[in-house]
Amino acid sequence: MSKFLLFSALWWLVGNPFLALIILLAIIYVLDRQFVGVFPSVTRPIRRMRSISLLRQQLTLNHHDISAKRDLARLLLERKKYSEAYSLLKEMEPLSEDSAEYWDDLGTAALGLGQVEEAEVHMLRALKLNERVRYGQPYLKLAAVYQNRNAEKSIYYAEKFSLIHSSSSEAYYLLGNVYQSLNRKAEARSAYTESISIYRSLPKYKKRQERGWALRSWFKRQKL
């Protein structure tokens, strides 16, 4: 009702229902980004593209800058530019053998290219180096990729993740998705509940970062 009244007031002020709707949506978006965090940032892709451009320029001047290559590869993974990210990561392999994050990134790139078996090898290597790397999310990635290929493997990786203590609402939201896709509703509900519980226990400065995942978990749980 409050949104309808606000829309009516805006319509009366600007004299155009379409403009009033655009203003209302802009207000909702700004409030969400400030206090909730469900909607994606419209500026993040722009900032990411700018960073990618700067890093490419940096590598043109110094192709051996490992730090720049690592940062560029991760940004390319976010953009789903898996082929370019994979090539960059392979260049860094001799200097990254002891980095769990590196092997997880390489595995993610391989997954994006459809090279599932190779991705599994890289991610398991990451987990061997550090089982808690990125809150154990390599386990979740493997569980997700195998959910329609090999149910037993998918469950195995999902349950391995559940043994790792995590303070990430996002991670448990993803775990719930894996269980839900396998029609294991009780485990899915438990994972979504854990996601919400973790959010409630977080300090204020962390809640904004995790709020969107907790809300998604709440909506998913309601549908089970």
- pLDDT digit string (tens) for 197-211? 999 998 887 887 788
Question: Residue 34's pLDDT band (boundaries 50, 70, 90)?
Answer: low
Question: Residue 42's pLDDT band (boundaries 50, 70, 90)?
Answer: low
pTM: 0.75
Question: Residue 51's pLDDT band (boundaries 50, 70, 90)?
Answer: very high
d(CA 49, CA 113): 21
Look at residue 102 and tell me whether its pLDDT is greater than 60: yes
Interval 169-185 mean pLDDT: 88
The pLDDT score that the predictor gives to residue 83 is: 97
Between the two ends of the chain, the Cα-to-Cα distance in Å is 28
d(CA 37, CA 140): 23
d(CA 96, CA 98): 6
Interval 153-169 mean pLDDT: 84
d(CA 25, CA 5): 14
Number of alpha carbons in the 13 Å side-chain half-sphere of residue 55: 20
Question: Residue 128's pLDDT band (boundaries 50, 70, 90)?
Answer: very high
